[in-house]
Amino acid sequence: MAPPAAESAHERHSPLIIAEIGTGHGGDLGRARELIAAASAAGADCAKFQWVIADEILHPATGSVRLPGGSVDLYQRFRSLEQPAPFYAQLKQLCADAGISFLCTPFGPASAAGLADMGVERFKIASPELNHLPLLRQVANFGKPMILSTGVSTLADIERALSVCATVEVTLLHCITAYPAREEEYNLAVIPHMAALFGVPVGISDHSMDPILVPAVATALGAAAVEKHITLSRSDPGLDDPIALTPDDFAEMVRTVRDASQNDSSSRSGVEWAVDRYGENRVTAVMGSGKKSLAPGEAANYGRSNRSIRAVRDIAAGAVIEAPDVAVLRSEHNLEPGLPPWVLETVVGSRTTRAVADGAGIAWSDLIRRA
C-alpha cells in the first residue's frame, strides 16, 4: 500500500514538532513553565501559544459556543484569557530557558504587532484566520516565516492567502477544524498533493484523539511539521485540554514521528508501521482520497468560524461606513456571517441603504454606493 508521492527513505527529514499549549496555561506562569518543560522533555521543537485579545476575534454578541469541554460564552472566556504584552515576553523567555522555540498565534493587528515587537522568529496563523487578509498582509510585512493552518478552507482560500504572503517563507498545515476531529476525515493523502500544487512545505495540525496514527502517516507522506495539543491532564480546565495529549502520549508521538522520518533506507515506512498497528482499513480511511475539500465535520463551520466583516457599532441608514464601524471577526453559529475580508476596502467608504445593528454581518444589500 504505497502512499501517493510519498518521499523515499533517503529523502525523508524530521518534521518540525509543535506542542500546542494555546491558552492552557490559564494565565499562570507557573503552569506555563510546567507545560513548556513537559513539551521540551517530550521532544517537541517548539511550544505554541495564542495571544488572545477578545475584540480581535469575536463580537460580544457571539454568545455560547460548544467546545470539547462543553458550551461556553466564548467572548467572555476569551476576555478572561487576555494577558498583557509582558506575559508573552515571559513565555518566550521560559521557552528559551527550556531549550525550546517559542511560537505564538496572533488574531489581529495588536497581537501581531506585539509579537513583532518581541522579535519572534516566525508567526503561526490559525485556520479561522486564513481568510483574514488584512492580518496576513500585516504579518507578511514583518518579513518572518509564517505557518498557515488550512482547516475549514478551500483551495481558493489557500491560494488567496499565499498570494498575500508571497514575500515570505510559508509552511502550510493541513488541518480539520473540528474538536475532536474524526481520524477518517483527515484525508492525509492531500499532503503531497498540496505541496506539489502550491510549491511550499506542507505539514499536519492534528486534532484527532489517537496520539500516533495521524502524525505517523502524515510523516510518511512527507509532512514538514506536526502540530498537536499538549496538556498535563485531559481533566484540566483549558479550552483544548479534553483533546490534548498528556506528556507521556506526546513523547510516544514524537518517538514514532522521529522513527518514521529516519534516513535509514532499511527502516520501514510510517505507513507500513501504521498498517501493522492499526490495520489496513483504518490506515486507508485516514489517508482518504487526496482531494482537498471541506471535511464533513467542519463543513458547517465554513463562513462562520473563519472571518467576515461585521459591524461593531450601530450604523445609521445613509451613513458612510468608516473604518472604526466594522471589524473582521469570526461569526460562529449565533451570528450571520458578513462579506469576506478581502472586500473590506470596498465596504469602508460606502454608504448604507439601511440601518445596520451593532454585531450584524455586513451584506452587499446594506451598501448603496461609494461615498
Residue range 307-370 in CATH 2.60.40.1180: no
Cβ(361)–Cβ(336) below 8 Å? yes
102 DSSP β-pair partners: 47
Q: Where in the chain are the domains?
A: 9-299, 307-370
pLDDT score of 12: 55
Rounded to a whole number of angstroms, the CA Rg of the chain reads: 21
Domain spanning 9-299: CATH superfamily = Aldolase class I (3.20.20.70)
Burial of 71 (0-12, 13-18, 19+ CB in 10 A): exposed
- Write down the pLDDT at residue 218: 95
| Cis amide prior to 180 (ω within 30 degrees) | yes
Residue 248: strand pairing partners: none
Residue 371: per-residue pLDDT: 52
Query: Quick one: cell of 225?
Result: 511539521
Cα–Cα distance for residue pair 152/91, rounded to 1 Å: 29
Given this model, what pLDDT does residue 268 score? 57
One digit per residue, the tens of pLDDT, for the chain of length 371 reads: 333 444 443 355 789 999 999 999 999 999 999 999 999 999 999 999 999 999 999 999 998 888 777 788 999 999 999 999 999 999 999 999 999 999 999 999 999 999 999 999 999 999 999 999 999 999 999 999 999 999 999 999 999 999 999 999 999 999 999 999 999 999 999 999 999 999 999 999 999 999 999 999 999 999 999 999 999 999 898 889 999 999 999 999 999 999 888 744 444 566 888 899 999 999 999 999 999 999 999 999 999 999 999 999 999 999 999 999 999 999 998 899 999 999 999 999 999 999 999 999 999 999 986 65
pLDDT at 261: 81
Q: Are 179 and 207 in contact (CB under 8 A)?
A: yes
pTM value surpassing 0.85: yes
Q: What is the pLDDT of residue 369?
A: 66
